[in-house]
Amino acid sequence: MRESVRCCPGRRDKAHSTWESGSSPGLPLPLRLRGLRVPGSPGAPARARVSSGLRRGQPGRDALSSGRPARPLCRAGGDTGASGSASPPAVEPAPQLKRNSFPSMNFEAEILTTPHDNSDLYMIPSMRSLTAEEYVEAFKAFLDHSTEHQCMDEFNKDQMPNIVAGLGAGKSTLSVLGVGSGTGEQDLKMIRILQAVHPGVFIDNEIVEPNPQHVAAYKELVNQAPDLQNVSFIWHQLTSLEYEQQVKERGTHKKFDFIHMIQMLYRVEDIPSTIKFFHSCLDHHGKLLIIILSDSSGWASLWKKHRDCLPATDSGHYITCSGITEVLRGLGVQHRVYELPSGWDITECFVEGDAVGGRMMDFLTGTKNFLGTAPPALRQQLQEALCQPECSSTRDGRVIFSNNLSMIVAES
C-alpha cells in the first residue's frame, strides 16, 4: 500500500462554487425515438413524440419511487446512435396520421401512426441511463466480480482503528453520518470498528441515501445484525443536496464526529460544494472519510484517454482522487491519502450474450443494456479500450480491470 500525506493548513472556505440544483444522478433519459419507420413503407416518416414525467436533472426520487424503466412500445428501425441527445427527431408528421397514446408508470408516449394498421409497428429502445432498480443490479454484478469491498476491508483493518481513535474526545455518544451508504455493508463495518475502539460508547448513526431499495436492504441488514444494541439509526432517503437543503431550511446544523462518503461522489450535483457542506458538518476533532477511485485506476485512464468510447447516457462525474484533493486543498483542509490496489474481473464483458457481463458493462457505462443498444462500432471501441494496458491486465486468462482506490481522510 502506498500512503501519501498532504497537509494544507491555512485558508478555509476559500474555494466555493455556486450552489447548483436540479441535476440528478442515474435518471433514465426519456425514451428516445429516432427514425421511426412503418414496416412495409420504408422511409415513410411517422412522428413519435414521447413526453416524460422525468427530466434529466430532476432529483432522483421521482425515478426512484417508480423505478420503472421505460418499456419499449414498438420497434423501430434506424440508428439508435451513440449520442445522449434527448431531442426527439425533428420529423414532420405525415398528413394522415392517427394518434395513439400509451400511458405508463413514469412516462407517457404518443405515437402517431398510419391509420390502416399499426399492429406491427415496433421500436428498439435507444440508449438510456440506468433506473435506480437497474443500478442496483449492475452495482451488484460489479461488487460480485471486484475486490472493491475486500480492498476496503484491508484499509479498515490496517488503518481505521488509528484513524478513529481520537474521535469524540471522551464523549459518551459518537455521531456518525454516512452519505451515499448504499446497502450499508461498509457502514456497519465502520460502526463495528468504532465499537471496538471506543467500547461502551453509544453510536448515533444517520444515513443519507436516495435509493429506496438500498435503504430497504440496509434496514434489513440492521434487523439481522445481533450486535448493534448501542447504535441508533436514522435514514434520510434523500440525495446529498436534498439533505443539505433540508438542513439549511431548518437552520439546524447538527455536527458529526465521523462522516463518510464512500464511492458516491460521482453522482452528486456539485462536488466542491458537497464536500464543503459535509466538511462543515464535522464537530471539533471530527474526520471525513472519502473513498474514491485512484488516479492509478483503469477508470482514470478510461475517462481521460478513451472518453469518446463512453456514451452520453453515462451521466456521472469522471472524478478520481486528485479531483477531490484539489478541492480539499482549495478549502485549506488537512488531509491524508491512502492508496490501495483493487481489481475487477471483467472477462465476462467480452463473452457474447453473457448476462453478468452485460450488467457489468451497464455499470461501467451507466447505460441500460449497453451491449444491446450501443452501435456496434462504439461497443467494439469500448471493449478494445478496456483491454489497453493502462486499463487492465491479464491474469490466468482473465481480464482484470484496475479498480485501485484512494482513501482520503480529512480533518475537521
Ligand X SMILES: C[S@@+](CC[C@H](N)C(=O)[O-])C[C@H]1O[C@@H](n2cnc3c(N)ncnc32)[C@H](O)[C@@H]1O
Which residues of this protein are in contact with ligand X, per CB under 6 A? 25, 139, 179-182, 185-186, 208-211, 214, 239-240, 262-264, 267-268
Residues linked to residue 335 through DSSP beta bridges, in sequence order: 6, 410
**240 phi and psi, to 5 degrees?**
-60, -35
Q: Using the minimum distance from each CB to ligand X, give the nearer residue, 208 or 282.
A: 208
Closest CB 35 distance from ligand X, rounded Å? 33
Closest CB 248 distance from ligand X, rounded Å? 16
Closest CB 266 distance from ligand X, rounded Å? 8
Q: Report the amino acid identity of residue 371.
A: L
Closest CB 262 distance from ligand X, rounded Å? 4
Q: Using the minimum distance from each CB to ligand X, give the nearer residue, 261 or 331.
A: 261
Closest CB 241 distance from ligand X, rounded Å? 6
Closest CB 4 distance from ligand X, rounded Å? 22
What is d(CA 274, CA 277) in angstroms, rounded to the nearest whole number? 5
Q: Using the minimum distance from each CB to ligand X, give the nearer residue, 46 or 265.
A: 265
Closest CB 88 distance from ligand X, rounded Å? 27
Closest CB 41 distance from ligand X, rounded Å? 45
Closest CB 186 distance from ligand X, rounded Å? 5
Q: Minimal CB distance to ligand X: which residue?
A: 182
Q: Using the minimum distance from each CB to ligand X, give the nearer residue, 81 or 182.
A: 182
Q: Using the minimum distance from each CB to ligand X, give the nearer residue, 98 or 157.
A: 157
- Return all residues near 167 (Cβ < 8 A) that are at least 6 apart: 174, 194, 198, 257, 258, 285, 286, 287
Q: Using the minimum distance from each CB to ligand X, give the nearer residue, 113 or 239.
A: 239
Q: Using the minimum distance from each CB to ligand X, give the nearer residue, 33 or 410.
A: 410
Q: Using the minimum distance from each CB to ligand X, give the nearer residue, 133 or 354.
A: 133
Q: Using the minimum distance from each CB to ligand X, give the nearer residue, 18 or 96.
A: 18
In this structure, the strands spanning 335-340 and 398-402 are unpaired
